């Protein structure tokens, strides 16, 4: 299969009915924080056990079409001695890989950040492909304050994101393009909309500049929400309409799918917001699905607690959360379903 055919096939698998993406690609500092929130130590064995538990959850392939991993996981094995990417394929789940190297200061910006990781990226991708990864992820971060993000940070981040996407596509790997406007702060929903629109506009201009094939990307944006400390929270329909308004203004119809990040929302909020978007009466040209990390994994870590005896309970919690988000992907979720047994 040629490069474009390979990417089309991957997009088809990732967008197949009822499915979304699990982000299990936390770098060492992030996974350490996530696990320690549940009293679990981040040892290599705990990370292997945990990510293998996710990938081998019986039946999870019905709701999850792809899992984004951190590079350590691609070489780790399940309890049955099978490489984790191979175990994913058995459930028809496409293995993916986070390829950015985190944030660094953007000189001249007064302290804003830009994502790094372009050096030797092509060579790294060749290795990940050999290990079974068929898609990639790169995340940009935009922090809202009275005067950030500035134009320099918006443009510099868009440029690296587009260069990454072009390199991934040169290897036949589908790039997840993730510009994340953070939820931290006390800004209102309109300010989030304004910044998200500016970031997306710059990203799509840069993708065009670098001849990225829009039909073979996955967009992973934030939802448009008020800052975390704003209370009370607006109704799901308000967030859904604000998010869709920005996306309709900025995202070409050629993009096949938009898989949202959860960004610190509770598991229930992230599901309700996705559901409200899929219930909107205006037609959208893209699939609207999920690529959550915390909103899928928090209940799993809560059930697991780092104890191997809790594996089955943890897998049940994962299956339940993934099923509810699968329903939300089709606008068929109702909060009363939260009380259904796992
Ligand atoms: C925003 O983070 C991404 C989505 O996760 P949430 O749904 O929890 O917002 C996530 O894929 C993130 O990129 C990974 O957890 C990796 O983070 P680090 O900071 O380790 O690169």
Q: Whose CA is nearest to atom 19 of ligand 1?
A: 30
With H, G, I as helix, E, B as strand and everything else as coil, classify residue 77.
strand
- Global pTM value: 0.98
- Give yes or no for a contact between 195 and 183, defined as CB atoms under 8 angstroms apart: no
Q: What is the CA(281)–ligand 1 centre distance, in A?
A: 30
Cα(2) to ligand 1 centroid in Å equals: 31
How many angstroms separate the alpha carbon of residue 32 from the centre of ligand 1? 13
Percent of the chain with pLDDT over 90: 99
Catalytic residues, by residue number, are 178, 220
CB atoms closer than 10 angstroms to residue 107 = 11
Atom of ligand 1 at shortest range from CA of 28: 20
In residues, how long is the chain?
342
Q: In the predicted model, is pLDDT for residue 342 greater than 70?
A: no
Mutate to test the pocket of ligand 1, among 26, 64, 179 (most ligand atoms within 8 A of CB): 26
Q: Whose CA is nearest to atom 16 of ligand 1?
A: 26
Tell how far the Cα of 293 is from the centroid of ligand 1, in angstroms.
6
Give tens-digit pLDDT for 130-184: 999 999 999 999 999 999 999 999 999 999 999 999 999 999 999 999 999 999 9
Q: What is the pLDDT of residue 340?
A: 84
SS3 27: coil
Distance 209 CA to ligand 1 centre (A): 27
Domains of the chain, earliest start first: 3-339 (3.20.20.70)
Residue nearest to atom 9 of ligand 1 (CA): 263
Give the residue, out of 21, 22, 23, 140, with the most ligand 1 atoms within 8 A of its beta carbon, to mutate for a pocket test: 23
- In a mutational test of the pocket of ligand 1, which residue from 20, 21, 24, 30 has the highest number of ligand atoms less than 8 Å from its CB? 30
For range 308-322, the mean pLDDT: 98
Q: Are 84 and 69 in contact (CB under 8 A)?
A: yes
- Please report the pLDDT score of residue 276 as a whole number: 98
pLDDT in tens, 191-220: 999 999 999 999 999 999 999 999 999 999
Ligand 1 pocket, Cβ-based, cut-off 6 angstroms: 23, 25-27, 30, 98, 102, 139, 180, 261-263, 292-295
Nearest 5°: the CA angle 292, 79, 63 is 30
**CB atoms closer than 10 angstroms to residue 246:** 25
pLDDT band with cut points at 50, 70 and 90 for residue 293: very high
DSSP E strands: which ranges in the chain? 20-24, 64-69, 94-98, 103-105, 113-115, 135-142, 174-181, 218-219, 257-260, 287-292
Query: Among the atoms of ligand 1, which is closest to the Cα of residue 23?
Result: 11
> What pLDDT is stored for residue 1 in this prediction?
84
Centre of ligand 1 to C-alpha 213, Å, is 24
In this structure, the dihedral spanned by the alpha carbons of residues 70, 72, 78 and 83, taken in order and rounded to 10 degrees, is 100
């Amino acid at each position: 299969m040629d490069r474009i055919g390979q990417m089309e096939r991957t997009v088809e698998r990732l967008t197949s009915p009822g499915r979304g993406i699990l982000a299990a690609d936390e770098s060492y500092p992030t996974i350490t924080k996530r696990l320690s929130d549940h009293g679990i130590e981040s040892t290599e064995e705990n990370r292997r056990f945990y990510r293998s538990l996710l990938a081998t959850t019986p039946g999870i392939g019905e709701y999850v079409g792809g899992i984004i991993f951190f590079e350590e996981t691609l070489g780790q094995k399940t309890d049955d001695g099978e490489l984790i990417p191979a175990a994913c394929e058995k459930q028809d789940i496409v293995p993916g890989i986070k390829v950015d190297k985190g944030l660094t200061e953007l000189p001249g910006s007064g302290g804003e950040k830009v994502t790094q990781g372009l050096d030797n990226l092509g060579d790294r991708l060749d290795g990940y492909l050999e290990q079974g990864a068929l898609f990639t992820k790169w995340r940009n971060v935009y922090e809202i304050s009275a005067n950030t993000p500035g134009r320099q940070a918006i443009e510099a981040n868009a440029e690296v994101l587009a260069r990454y996407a072009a390199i991934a596509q040169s290897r036949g790997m589908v790039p997840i393009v993730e510009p994340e406007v953070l939820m931290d702060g006390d800004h209102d929903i309109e300010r989030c909309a304004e910044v998200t629109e500016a970031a997306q506009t710059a990203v799509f201009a840069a993708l065009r500049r670098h001849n990225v094939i829009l039909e073979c990307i996955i967009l992973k944006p934030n939802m448009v929400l008020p800052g975390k400390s704003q209370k009370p929270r607006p109704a799901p329909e308000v967030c859904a309409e604000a998010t869709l308004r920005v996306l309709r203004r900025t995202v070409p119809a050629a993009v096949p799918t938009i898989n949202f990040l959860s960004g610190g929302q509770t598991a229930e909020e992230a599901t309700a917001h996705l559901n409200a978007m899929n219930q909107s009466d205006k037609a959208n040209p893209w699939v609207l699905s999920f690529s959550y990390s915390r909103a899928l994994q928090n209940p799993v870590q809560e059930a697991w607690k780092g104890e191997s005896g809790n594996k089955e309970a943890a897998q049940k919690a994962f299956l339940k959360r993934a099923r509810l988000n699968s329903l939300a992907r089709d606008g068929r979720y109702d909060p009363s379903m939260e009380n259904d047994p796992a």
